[in-house]
Amino acid sequence: MIRFLQISLLSFFLISCKSYQVENAVAKELSTTEYKNLYFSDSKTDYVYKATIEVYGNQLSGIFIAKRISDTTHRVVFTTDFGNTLLDFELSENDFKVNYIQEDLNRKIIVNTLRDDFRLLLRIDHPVQEIFENDESIIYKSADKKWFNYFFESKTDKRLTKIITASKSKEKIILGFESKSTIFAQNITIQHKNIKLKITLNQITN
Amino acid sequence: MNLTVFSQEQKMAASEITSFKATVEKEAKNIKSLKTDFVQYKHLDFLSKDIETSGKMYFKQPNLLNWQYTKPYQYSIVFKNNKVYINDQGKKSKVDANSKMFEKINKMIVGSVSGNMFDDKEFTIAYFKSKDAYIVKLTPKTATIKKYINQIDLHFPMRDTTVSEVKLTEPSGDFTRIIFKNKQLNAKIDDSIFTN
């Protein structure tokens, strides 16, 4: 019994400590030190999406709006379908300002989670430390504070299709992109692995 | 700031207010149902273009309401028996979260249609007229509402006793404008419209 427990604990230890690696990917020569996500880079475009936020079984619907307002800063607004503003943030890589947040949403965990998600979604320049590839994608690895972001660029059309945020050992957040060009994503999903949170964004065109 | 200078609006005289209110309230009593198309413009100062959504609204006395967006996406919200039913592009749910806000929206829509707006304890009301419409401006009295609404403007065209336009201004100055078109009073509306 003790032996069984030892084996179990040992294997648990080994499995949980296995460092995170992208499946079936092999290292490539470091041909660049920077990766650009251009999906929210145009300062002339109003990025407007129908948004659905599923959080622990509850569903919140509304409109997600983003605009690049300077070289470094994006403005992000989330409203209800009726137009009432629920949150209004300004954020860049290092700065963060809350212009408005509705009382019900004004919880530290909500604000910080959305701030980090939006920052990752909107940030353009990412330093690259390693490059990998698999059959479909070139994968750029970028250190971001205590975590790592992996940017998956399709080999066929050079578009960003996925970002995986991972700790040293496991995946935390997966962002998926469907796009018709390298500068605009029509459909975006942000799926959290450690909390039950999923954000879906579908482009609205008037 | 004196708004009348900019918008060609005049304050209504006390006698005008009395008769305007009486007319709206009297006509509202005859409203059994209302069906209308609407276009909604969300204005945010930093955007180059307002966000436009549109759809249909159905109301039936005493308190059935379906607010339905059809463009550019399908989303409808039904208020029935003090509950809120949502159909979000086929995904159905019943909402309790944020119900206070939905309750206020429901009250405002039904109130502006039925004329129950004028003795609202939560708003200070001012009456104006322009060349072609009466404009009722509601300013919230309570701190709770002041947090998300700065002012609500209701437009009543001169020859009409129901609202043709609602403008909801937020504390930031950004606003939502809703224009009602193709209004039909007391047309038959099947109850199945109010199931989501």
List the Cα angle B78/A79/A94 in 5-degree steps. 155
Q: Is there a contact between B47 and A46 if contact means CB atoms under 8 Å apart?
A: yes
Residue A6 within a domain = no
Using CB atoms and an 8 Å cut-off, which of residues 29-88 of chain B contact chain A? 40, 42, 44, 46-49, 51-53, 67, 69, 72-73, 75, 77, 86, 88
Half-sphere exposure of A157 (CA within 13 A, CB side): 9
Q: What is the third-level CATH fold of B9-187?
A: outer membrane lipoprotein receptor (LolB), chain A (2.50.20)
pLDDT range class, residue A197, cuts 50, 70, 90: very high
Q: Is the pLDDT of residue A20 over 90?
A: no
Tell me whether residues A103 and B93 touch, CB distance under 8 A. no
- Where is mean pLDDT largest: A17-31, A108-122, B21-35, B91-105? A108-122
Candidate from A66-75, A99-108, A132-141, B172-181 with smallest mean pLDDT: A99-108
Q: Which residues make Cβ contacts (< 8 Å) with residue B87, sequence separation at least 6? A: B74, B75, B76, B77, B78, B196
Closest approach of chain B CAs to the CA of A83, in angstroms? 6
Residue B104: what are its φ and ψ, rounded to 5°?
A: -65, -40
Residue B91 with chain A: CB contacts under 8 Å = 52, 59
Mean pLDDT of B50-65: 91
What's the CA gap between A84 and A78, in Å, rounded?
A: 9
A8 lies in some domain:
no
**Identity of the residue numbered B122:** E
- In whole numbers, what is the pLDDT of chain B averaged over residues? 85
CA distances to A15, A199, B66 from B71, rounded to whole Å, are 50, 21, 15
Is 80 exceeded by the pLDDT of residue B1?
no
Q: Chain A interface, mutation test: which of B100, B147, B174, B177, most A Cβ atoms within 10 Å? A: B174
Domain count, chain A: 1
Write the residue in A65, A102, A104 that is nearest to B44 by C-beta.
A65
Highest mean pLDDT, choosing among B25-34, B92-101, B149-158: B149-158
**Average pLDDT over every residue of B45-65:** 92
- For chain A, strand residue ranges (E) read 26-28, 34-36, 47-55, 58-68, 74-79, 85-91, 96-101, 125-127, 130-133, 137-144, 147-154, 160-166, 171-179, 185-192, 197-203
> DSSP state, B144?
H
Q: How confident is the model at residue B97 (pLDDT cuts 50, 70, 90)?
A: very low
Domain annotation covers residue A9 = no
Give the span between the Cα atoms of B7 and B10, in whole angstroms.
9
Does A68 fall in a domain?
Answer: yes
A4 within domain boundaries: no
Q: Which residues of B25-62 are buried (b: 16+ CB within 10 A; e: fewer)?
A: beebeebebbbbebebbbbbeebeeebebbbbbbbbee
User: What average pLDDT does the segment B90-98 reach?
Assistant: 72
Name which of A36-45, A156-165, B18-27, B111-120 the model is least confident about: B111-120
Residue A185 pLDDT class (50, 70, 90 cuts): very high
Closest CB to B48: pick one of A46, A77, A80. Answer: A46
Q: How confident is the model at residue B162 (pLDDT cuts 50, 70, 90)?
A: confident
Q: How many Cα atoms within 13 Å fall on the side-chain side of residue B30? A: 8
- Partner-chain contact B170 A84, CB within 8 Å: yes
pLDDT of residue A17 exceeding 70: no
pLDDT tier for residue A7 given thresholds of 50, 70 and 90: low
Q: For the segment A97-136, what is each residue's pLDDT rounded down to a tens digit?
A: 999 998 888 999 999 999 999 999 999 999 999 999 999 9
Report whether the peptide linkage leading into residue B171 is cis, meaning its omega lies within 30 degrees of zero. no
The ipTM estimated for the assembled molecules is 0.84
Residue type, B19: S
Residue A33's domain comprises: 21-203
pTM: 0.86
The confidence score (pLDDT) of residue B115 equals 60
DSSP string covering B69-134 = EEESS-EEEEEETTEEEEEETTEEEEE-TTHHHHHHHHHHHHHHHHTTTTT-TTEEEEEEE-SSEE
Q: What's the pLDDT score for residue B45? A: 95
| B149 within 8 A of B169, measured Cβ to Cβ | yes
Residue A161 covered by a domain: yes
Q: How many helices (H) and strands (E) does chain B have?
A: 4, 12
Q: Per the domain annotation, does A10 fall within a domain?
A: no
Rounded to a whole number of angstroms, the distance from the CA of A154 to the nearest CA of chain B is 29
Out of B51, B101, B172, closest to residue A48 by CB: B51
> What CATH number should be reported for the domain holding residue A41?
2.50.20
Residue to substitute from A45, A50, A74, A87, interface B, most B β-carbons within 10 A: A50
Q: Is A73 part of the contact surface with chain B (CB cutoff 8 Å)?
A: no
- Rounded to an integer, the average pLDDT of A127-151 is 95
* Cα–Cα distance list, B121 to B55, B140, B154, B168 (Å): 31, 9, 17, 18
Q: Domain residues of chain B, as ranges?
A: 9-187
Residue with tokens 């206020």: B104
Answer whether residue B152 shows pLDDT above 70.
yes
What gap in Å lies between CA B38 and CA B20, rounded to an integer? 24
Tokens, residue A121: 């979604």
pLDDT score of A152 more than 50: yes
Rounded CA separation B8/A206 (Å): 31
Q: Which residues contact A125 (CB under 8 A, 6 or more apart)?
A: A34, A35, A36
Sequence-ordered alpha helix ranges (H) in A36-167? 108-122
Output the six-digit token pair for A176.
């998926």
| Predicted local confidence at residue B182, as pLDDT | 93
Substitution target in B41, B44, B77 with the highest count of A β-carbons within 10 Å is B44
